[in-house]
Amino acid sequence: MPMKKALLFTCMMIFLGSAAWSQDSDLFSYDRDAVTTALSDLDEAESYVTGHPGITLSEIRSSDELSGTHLVKLSPVDGSSLAGEPPLGIPSFWWGCIFGVVGIALVYFIAEDAEETKKALMGCVAWTVAWVVFYLVYWLVVGATLWSYY
Amino acid sequence: MIRPVIFITLFLSVAAGRSAAQSFYRISGDYVIKARLADTTSQLVMGKFYYDRNIKKIVYINSFPEKETWVTCDSSLYLFVDGELIQRQRVPPAAEFTIFHLALENQLDHFGLKNTFYRIEKVEKQDDLVVTTWAPHKKLADLFGKVMISNKNRRIHGIVFFDHEGELVKKQFFENFVQADGLDFPTDVVEIIYSEGEEHYRKTTYRNIRVNEWEHENIYDYPLPVL
């Protein structure tokens, strides 16, 4: 009986493990056909614009010849779409994500965690000391070499 | 005997310094954005982009839908038409988290999450992917969600964004990498945005990538009004 339970438990763990695995794997895939289909009109629009260098959306909208085509349904670019949701790769959730001394202040004010703040400060100090030591040694060696020639 | 050793050491250190100084600092190219958005509208944007990681201005010179120049600098976004400032608005100061900056800094593999309030929670191998789960600092967990990043062959493959409640918000995939003067850069970025149970798509294609070019100085450092 304990053997059966162990076997059942093992099977269950394998099943759950593979289910979790496939769920995570799915996260890093997407339906390419759905994307291609959804953007197919825009592929045609790109071909049209490429074939008519210099043409703008205003000119397309004022053209009788193009009225009724999907080209006139295109939207203009607005600043919020450029800077907010990232058509150009700018993630909007990055507000306040900053480094260095300001980063220490961020940890202090937001995290309110003395230990974390101390670590951030020590990191900043250690980095500065390392660079100062490196440059001192570097220029001492350069100086010594030049001195030996005179 | 000691002199050759010192000379070799000096030579190597100077060479290392020069090599660091000669790293990637500028990128430009053509881009096309195709987007099918949540409100059933669609967008097509075509133009050129310019970015210098020291100047930190992103300059987009659009040829379509209108001939416009958009410039982001610090927390401002400027719109110019025919060289005239039409509009200025406040935006998140996020130049250092754009694909341009991260590629130049060779930080695309972790999307710049190192040195932020995000910490690595888990790293696991899934077939040919290495998946890293990043979690925000515990005090910020009510505001920010987890981020999962997958790498394939040491290149970024995809990012999955969750909100603070664990809901899937967005997936982003980086595809068709090219080597532009030694810089690895994805020419296709596909985004799937999840909103109210629906999927919306955006695809950005980059072409004619140029790295560390000397021309177009006035564009990389686009003159902005002192306000």
Residue from B44, B20, B14 nearest B32 by CA: B44
Q: Give the rounded distance of the alpha carbon of B77 from its chain centre.
A: 17
pLDDT of residue A75: 82
What kind and span of H or E run contains B194?
strand B183-195
Q: What's the pLDDT tens digit per position in A53-111?
A: 999 999 988 888 887 787 878 888 766 555 434 333 333 333 333 333 444 444 444 44
> Amino acid letter at A29?
S
Mean pLDDT computed over B177-206: 91
Query: What is the number of alpha carbons within 13 Å of residue B39 lying toward its C-beta?
Result: 6
Q: What's the pLDDT tens digit per position in A105-133?
A: 444 444 444 554 555 455 555 666 666 78
Indicate yes or no: CB of B201 within 8 angstroms of CB of A38.
yes
CA distance B203 to A58: 23
From A114's Cα to the closest Cα of chain B, the distance in A is 13
DSSP string for chain A? -HHHHHHHHHHHHHHHHHHHHHHHHHHT---HHHHHHHTHHHHHHHHHHHHSTT--HHHHHT-TTTTTSGGGGBPPP-HHHHHSS-TTS--GGGTT---HHHHHHHIIIII--HHHHHHHHHHHHHHHHHHHHHHHHHHHHHHHHHHHH-
Using CB atoms, pick whichever of B46, B79, B173 lies closest to residue A30.
B173
Indicate yes or no: CB of A82 within 8 angstroms of CB of B137.
no
Is there a contact between B24 and B212 (Cβ–Cβ < 8 Å)? yes
- Enumerate the domain spans of chain A: 1-27, 95-150
From A58's Cα to the closest Cα of chain B, the distance in A is 7
pLDDT of residue A82: 53
| Sheet strands (E) in B37-182 | 42-52, 57-64, 68-73, 76-81, 84-90, 118-126, 129-136, 147-152, 155-162, 168-180
Using CB atoms, pick whichever of A24, A58, A103 lies closest to residue B66.
A58
Chain A residue nearest residue B149, CA to CA: A28
In order of their start, the domains of chain B are 24-220 (2.50.20.10)
Indicate yes or no: CB of B37 within 8 angstroms of CB of A79.
no
From B181's Cα to the closest Cα of chain A, the distance in A is 22
> Amino acid letter at B184?
D
